[in-house]
């Protein structure tokens, strides 16, 4: 038991197995599970999370047959070879005292290949492949495949399985009228539509016996048209309970939903109401999920009776030792997941190995290793933005003497501005984490100190053995007539200096920062309350209407904003696949006018003069805000014609190295990799 979070760290006893706490590492595809040669890396990744105290780990989705693949040649559980590979993973987790369940899935019409199959032959908007309608015989075959995969999982040493019944995958497709247009025993009313899921559970139970965890991830809020109502969700939960499920996990939304479910701007624990609704209707334990990232929130969900356990996938990617730190009362030492998706889900959807923006070791546990140093060096890091903070703390953790110089009065660099953007409040957690880590690793921090090259070369107590230049970027000032006009501001003036901004505004540049500035100028509250979020997106958390969808309330915009770029095509194409659409839609809710293919002519008292589609146009705005990208700041170092430092002791990282397409993911990773090599 933990004094700090007594409910979260109470064990959960199933009679045949006891979970040491209520912290579940939820399923997340990493890319490592798809290739057998990556299984030692997968084992190391999960073993670290088991060592870090997670009560139960769930693997990424493993298909029960080939037609159920999400991507061609994805991880499958149907041969003796698969059992041998997975045994390595289970053994590694058990050696660390952890428990692990395999997620069994069938992608149905989300399968990105021509052999996909589903309840009906309806195509998903997000997938070019049309599925084949499954015959009744085929449905029974698939039920058998789930049972066989569960038996093999038990043979490999898993403590249980999770049946993936949500997020719009096959079992969810059968469960909802949206996809299920069948008139046979597996279609029709909710009892027919739930039959596949119920029979899967019964078949698994028959195959594995009573002493094995069978978890079911049930969609408790579909967030799509043709989704289920609360009565249908509850009836399904009760039928699953009666069929032998040990615990029910929460699924929220389908991958094709138009409503965000996990990005930073979704309020923390937004969906606990949906979980609580099911919990009240069943006796088996229920797990809450989505946008739960701190022990305070997790504890409150369990203590209030809304759920018995919490599932966190990304937070345990961000910090493998999340549970141990919370249990020891050291929550302030947790490297908190900021919900950015940039290194996890955006990688998954680009078929790249997942990692984590704030923890580049995630899924690279055997490759990015911070070994203690044999010879202590004296290292200077110039710049306390994300690149510098990452380099300084990794170097110090390894045992080097590290000095960190920062011209500003505080750490964080560009990230401080991001943290000021409504919907990105979580970014403050990363600054809090690094602030503590600097102290714990003994980095000597000099804030408000613009260090000179002379100082670095004549340091007190001897020169530095290595100098890491992480001096970042400065805003690019485009050459437009009238750019010096008083109504022109930079994004730094707005986001950091908080200079006053008028009621009618033009934003030049529709990259990540242009969008951030729009959100900053339009938001009424920060963070957004759950009530306002559900009104804006049209969500009924208790699914009184099918799918939990209601008409969104129009947002009353407090400013008129024009977002501009010179390129034609999609605005704000920069931010990742899983987040870009959320930002674009939020701007649409606020009535932002987005103009591409724009030529900037001049700025004067009347406003911003542009040419769009060949026609001259005046945007009569009070302010023009520049978000036109950045250039590197690296005056402190002399570079050769290839941009490499001429003095071999110097190293360039982050925006000081390359300004274009800089983001915190590259900065933190580059800083950590350099510091791991010194």
Indicate the residue among 423 and 509 with the shorter CB distance to ligand SF4.
423
Q: Which of 629, 630, 647 is nearest to 638 (CA)?
A: 647
User: Could you tell me how many residues make up the chain?
Assistant: 678
Distance from the Cα of residue 647 to its chain's centroid: 39
Closest approach, Cβ 624 to ligand NAP, in A, equals 11
Residue 490 binds ligand SF4 (CB under 6 A): no
Partner that binds at residue 358, options ligand SF4, ligand NAP, none, CB closer than 5 to 8 Å by kind:
ligand SF4
Give phi and psi for 547, each to the nearest 5.
75, -5
Residue nearest to ligand NAP (CB): 511
DSSP 648: T
Partner that binds at residue 260, options ligand SF4, ligand NAP, none, CB closer than 5 to 8 Å by kind:
none
Indicate the residue among 108 and 511 with the shorter CB distance to ligand NAP.
511
Indicate the residue among 231 and 661 with the shorter CB distance to ligand NAP.
661
Could you tell me the two tokens for 164?
A: 């993936």
Closest approach, Cβ 515 to ligand SF4, in A, equals 17
Residue 54 binds ligand SF4 (CB under 6 A): no
* Owner of token pair 């959960």: 12
Partner that binds at residue 627, options ligand SF4, ligand NAP, none, CB closer than 5 to 8 Å by kind:
ligand NAP
Closest approach, Cβ 512 to ligand NAP, in A, equals 3
Kindly identify the residues of this chain, within the stretch 317-376, that bind ligand SF4 according to CB under 6 A. Answer: 317-318, 337-344, 356-358
Judge if the upstream peptide bond of residue 527 is cis by omega within 30 degrees of 0.
Answer: yes
Partner that binds at residue 339, options ligand NAP, ligand SF4, none, CB closer than 5 to 8 Å by kind:
ligand SF4
Closest approach, Cβ 58 to ligand SF4, in A, equals 15
Partner that binds at residue 194, options ligand NAP, ligand SF4, none, CB closer than 5 to 8 Å by kind:
none
Partner that binds at residue 367, options ligand NAP, ligand SF4, none, CB closer than 5 to 8 Å by kind:
none
Q: Is 641 helix (H, G, I), strand (E, B) or coil?
A: coil
CA dihedral 323, 398, 667, 404 (to 10 degrees): 110
By CB atoms closer than 10 A (0-12, 13-18, 19+), residue 605 is exposed
The Cα–Cα gap between 616 and 629 comes to 25
Partner that binds at residue 314, options ligand SF4, ligand NAP, none, CB closer than 5 to 8 Å by kind:
ligand SF4
Of 109-117, 298-306, 313-321, 453-461, which part binds ligand SF4 (CB under 6 A)?
313-321
Partner that binds at residue 610, options ligand NAP, ligand SF4, none, CB closer than 5 to 8 Å by kind:
none
Q: Do 225 and 258 contact (CB within 8 A), yes or no? A: no
Partner that binds at residue 478, options ligand NAP, ligand SF4, none, CB closer than 5 to 8 Å by kind:
ligand NAP
Indicate the residue among 338 and 470 with the shorter CB distance to ligand SF4.
338
Indicate the residue among 109 and 424 with the shorter CB distance to ligand SF4.
424
Q: Please give the radius of gyration of the chain, using alpha carbons only, rounded to the nearest integer.
A: 26
**Packing angle between helix 195-208 and helix 230-243, nearest 10 degrees?**
20
Closest approach, Cβ 463 to ligand NAP, in A, equals 34
Indicate the residue among 165 and 423 with the shorter CB distance to ligand NAP.
423
Q: Do 173 and 180 contact (CB within 8 A), yes or no? A: yes
# of chain residues touching ligand SF4 (CB under 6 A): 14
DSSP 128: S
Partner that binds at residue 625, options ligand SF4, ligand NAP, none, CB closer than 5 to 8 Å by kind:
none
* Owner of token pair 């094709």: 256
Closest approach, Cβ 320 to ligand SF4, in A, equals 11
Kindly identify the residues of this chain, within the stretch 116-145, that bind ligand SF4 according to CB under 6 A. Answer: none
Indicate the residue among 54 and 586 with the shorter CB distance to ligand NAP.
586
Residue 418 binds ligand SF4 (CB under 6 A): no
Residue 621 binds ligand SF4 (CB under 6 A): no
Residue 619 binds ligand SF4 (CB under 6 A): no
**Packing angle between helix 272-279 and helix 230-243, nearest 10 degrees?**
50
DSSP character string of 585-599: HHHHHTT-EEE-SEE
Closest approach, Cβ 377 to ligand NAP, in A, equals 31
Indicate the residue among 318 and 659 with the shorter CB distance to ligand SF4.
318
- What's the 3-state SS for 56-119? EEEEEEEECCHHHCCCCCCCECCCHHHHHHHHHHHHHHHHCCCCEEEEEECCHHHCCCCCCEEC
The Cα–Cα gap between 164 and 101 comes to 12
Q: Which of 5, 45, 32 is nearest to 361 (CA)?
A: 45
Residue 392 binds ligand SF4 (CB under 6 A): no
Closest approach, Cβ 525 to ligand NAP, in A, equals 20
Q: Which of 34, 107, 109 is nearest to 64 (CA)?
A: 107
Active-site residue list: 169
Residue 311 binds ligand SF4 (CB under 6 A): no
DSSP 547: G
The Cα–Cα gap between 66 and 26 comes to 23
Closest approach, Cβ 629 to ligand NAP, in A, equals 4
Q: Do 481 and 665 contact (CB within 8 A), yes or no? A: no
Closest approach, Cβ 74 to ligand NAP, in A, equals 27
Indicate the residue among 317 and 672 with the shorter CB distance to ligand SF4.
317
* Owner of token pair 């899983």: 578
List contacts with ligand NAP (CB under 6 A): 342, 476, 478, 508-514, 516, 565-567, 574-576, 579, 627-630, 661-663
Indicate the residue among 180 and 490 with the shorter CB distance to ligand NAP.
490
Q: Which of 363, 330, 438, 445 is nearest to 394 (CA)?
A: 438
The Cα–Cα gap between 36 and 89 comes to 11
Residue 249 binds ligand SF4 (CB under 6 A): no
Binding residues vs ligand SF4 (CB under 6 A) = 314, 317-318, 337-344, 356-358
């Amino acid at each position: 038991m933990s004094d700090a979070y007594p409910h979260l760290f109470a064990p959960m006893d199933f009679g045949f197995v006891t979970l040491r706490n209520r912290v579940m590492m939820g399923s997340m595809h990493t890319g490592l599970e798809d290739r057998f040669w990556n299984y030692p890396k997968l084992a190391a990744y999960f073993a670290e999370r088991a060592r870090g105290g997670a009560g139960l780990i769930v693997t990424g989705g493993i298909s029960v047959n080939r037609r159920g693949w999400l991507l061609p040649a994805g991880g499958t559980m149907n041969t003796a070879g698969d059992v041998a590979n997975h045994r390595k993973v289970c053994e590694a987790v058990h050696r660390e005292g952890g428990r692990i369940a395999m997620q069994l899935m069938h992608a149905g019409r989300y399968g990105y290949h021509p052999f996909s199959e589903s309840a009906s032959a309806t195509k998903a908007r997000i997938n070019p492949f049309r599925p084949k309608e499954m015959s009744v015989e085929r449905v029974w075959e698939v039920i058998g495949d789930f049972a066989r995969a569960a038996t093999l999982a038990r043979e490999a040493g898993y403590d249980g399985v999770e049946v993936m019944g949500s997020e719009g995958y096959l079992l969810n497709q059968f469960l909802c009228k949206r996809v299920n247009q069948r008139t046979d025993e597996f279609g029709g009313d909710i009892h027919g539509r739930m039959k596949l899921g119920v029979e899967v559970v019964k078949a698994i139970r028959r195959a594995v016996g009573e002493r094995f965890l069978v978890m079911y991830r049930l969609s408790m809020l579909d967030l799509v048209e043709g989704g289920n109502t609360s009565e249908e969700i509850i009836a399904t939960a009760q039928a699953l309970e009666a069929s032998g499920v040990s615990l029910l996990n929460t699924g929220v939304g389908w991958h094709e939903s138009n409503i965000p479910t996990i990005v930073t701007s979704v309020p923390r624990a937004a969906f606990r109401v949906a979980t609580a609704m099911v919990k009240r209707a069943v006796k088996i334990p229920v797990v809450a999920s989505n946008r739960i990232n701190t022990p305070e929130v997790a504890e409150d969900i369990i203590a209030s009776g809304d759920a018995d356990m919490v599932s966190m996938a990304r937070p345990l990617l961000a910090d493998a030792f999340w549970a141990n730190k919370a249990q020891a009362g050291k929550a302030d030492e947790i490297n908190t997941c900021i919900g950015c998706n940039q290194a996890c889900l955006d990688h998954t959807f680009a078929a790249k190995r997942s990692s984590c923006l704030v923890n580049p070791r995630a899924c690279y546990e055997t490759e990015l290793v911070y070994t203690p140093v044999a010879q202590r060096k004296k290292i200077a890091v110039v710049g306390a933005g994300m690149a510098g903070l990452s380099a300084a703390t990794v170097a110090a953790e390894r045992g080097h003497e590290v000095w960190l110089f920062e011209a500003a009065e505080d750490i964080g660099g560009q990230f401080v501005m991001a943290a000021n953007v409504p919907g990105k409040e979580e970014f403050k957690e990363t600054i809090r984490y690094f602030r503590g880590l600097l102290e714990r690793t003994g980095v000597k921090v000099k804030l408000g100190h613009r260090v000179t090259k002379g100082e670095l070369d004549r340091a007190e107590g001897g020169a530095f053995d290595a100098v890491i230049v992480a001096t970042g970027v400065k805003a690019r000032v485009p050459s437009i007539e009238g750019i010096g006009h008083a109504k022109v501001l930079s994004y730094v003036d707005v986001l950091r200096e908080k200079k006053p901004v008028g009621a009618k505004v033009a934003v030049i540049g529709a990259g990540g920062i242009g969008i951030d500035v729009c959100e900053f100028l339009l938001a009424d509250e920060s963070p957004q309350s759950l009530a306002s979020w559900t009104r804006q997106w049209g969500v009924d958390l208790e699914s009184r209407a099918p799918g939990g969808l209601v008409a969104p309330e129009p947002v009353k915009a407090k400013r008129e904003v024009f977002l501009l770029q010179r390129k034609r095509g999609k605005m704000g194409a920069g931010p990742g696949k899983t987040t870009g659409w959320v930002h674009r839609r939020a701007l649409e809710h606020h009535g932002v006018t987005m103009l591409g293919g724009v030529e900037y002519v001049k700025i004067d008292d009347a406003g911003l003069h542009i040419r769009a589609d060949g026609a001259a146009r005046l945007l009569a705005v009070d302010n023009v805000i520049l978000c036109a990208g950045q250039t590197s700041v690296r005056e402190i170092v002399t570079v050769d014609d290839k941009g490499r430092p001429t003095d071999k002791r110097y190293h360039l990282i982050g925006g000081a190295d390359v300004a274009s397409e800089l983001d915190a993911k590259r900065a933190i990773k580059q800083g950590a990799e350099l510091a791991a090599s010194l």
